[in-house]
Amino acid sequence: MNAACADMADGIRPGDLMRQVAEALTRTGLGTCPYGEDGSNQIGIECRAGHCTLWVSDFGTAEWEYHPAQDADPGLAADLAAILLTGHPAPSPPPSRGPDRPHLTFKGIVGLDLRARGLDVELAVYPEDDVLNVTAEIVITSRADPRGGMQVWVSDDGHLTWRRDYQDGEPAVTAIAETVTRAISRLRTAGQPA
């Protein structure tokens, strides 16, 4: 049983972990708005670069989603994935489509960039047998994550999802707030010279 579960047994109300994270984000200057009723585990985070949503369960699972407001930028998506998994972007020159790779997809560019940064990238394929279609995204992990509790998914439309499961004794509120704040900070500088 993790700390959030133990707290629930001690009378903490549903949504308290999410409320603590929202308060921590507000203290950093980020604007947040809750979804649903009191006790909801989901908030929106104000960001001009796109739509950002954070979900935190009462049991220590955090999930942040980003949908770009305009055309997706593969360099930005790679930076966000690296920040979410390692705490810093660790830039590398992005792979180009070039004449030898004219059909490289958005997720292909992001994945090759992240592999060059030392992160592990796999392709996840989801068949839709009823309509004879296939969708795919990349799943990124870091060898530096000893528990393997973090992953980032990126699709060809630039939709990015970060998920982390926090265990008993981990400072979930602070860690979640710091991680999301770093990602939003990178989004705020998107399109500006480094």
Q: What is the pLDDT of residues 158-184, one digit of tens each?
A: 999 999 998 766 788 999 999 999 999
**What pLDDT does residue 16 have?**
87
Question: What's the pLDDT band for 3 if we cut at 50, 70, 90?
Answer: very low
Give tens-digit pLDDT for 59-112. 889 999 999 998 999 999 999 999 999 988 776 665 555 556 668 899 999 999
Distance CA 102, CA 22 (A): 43
**What pLDDT does residue 145 have?**
80
Cα(first)–Cα(last) distance of the chain, in Å? Answer: 43
Q: Report the DSSP beta bridge partners of residue 64.
A: 54, 162
Give tens-digit pLDDT for 126-165. 999 999 999 999 999 998 887 778 999 999 999 999 999 9
Q: Tell me which of 5 and 181 has the higher pLDDT.
A: 181
Question: Per-residue pLDDT for 45 more than 60?
Answer: yes
Candidate ranges 3-7, 97-101, 188-192; pick with highest mean pLDDT = 188-192
Distance CA 176, CA 179 (A): 5
Question: Distances from the Cα of 32 to the Cαs of 51, 56, 128, in angstroms?
Answer: 12, 14, 35
